[in-house]
Amino acid sequence: MSRKEVVLLVSRAFAACQLATALLELSYLPERLFSMYHHAKLGSLLSDSAADNYFRTYDQIGVLSLIARIVGLLILTVVFWQCGPWVERIVLPKQEA
């Protein structure tokens, strides 16, 4: 195998792992959205106490960080799947004699 083929194989395998991780993270999104909806609804029924605000904010931060992780993983997937020169330098740097 040539150097280019090895780099392409490794980067595509890494991209596939990142895609699988992104899909796994995506499976947590309904749970987080349901929890956020529940606490938002609960806060509107009850008085606006500090505990209600805490759980609403906690859920919002959790959903936003989960979405950020998914987007980051998908960006990594695309970058490593395309296997540009930057990825080639990272995966298998050229050996100096």
Residue whose pair of structure tokens reads 């540009």 in the numeric block: 84
Residue whose pair of structure tokens reads 């959790």 in the numeric block: 62
34-56 core/surface letters (b: 16 or more CB in 10 A; e: else)? ebbeebeeebeeeeeeeebeebb
Are the beta carbons of 36 and 59 closer than 8 angstroms? yes
In a domain, 7, yes or no: yes
In a domain, 97, yes or no: no
In a domain, 96, yes or no: no
Residue whose pair of structure tokens reads 């909806």 in the numeric block: 37
Q: What confidence tens digit (pLDDT) does each residue in 9-64 have?
A: 999 999 999 999 999 999 999 999 998 888 877 765 555 566 667 888 889 999 99
Q: Which amino acid is at 38?
A: H
Q: What confidence tens digit (pLDDT) does each residue in 25-35 have?
A: 999 999 999 98
Rounded CA-CA distance 77/22 in Å is: 9
- Residue ranges making up the domain that contains 38: 3-91
Q: What pTM was estimated for this model as a whole?
A: 0.81
In a domain, 12, yes or no: yes
Total number of domains in the chain: 1
End-to-end CA distance of the chain: 21
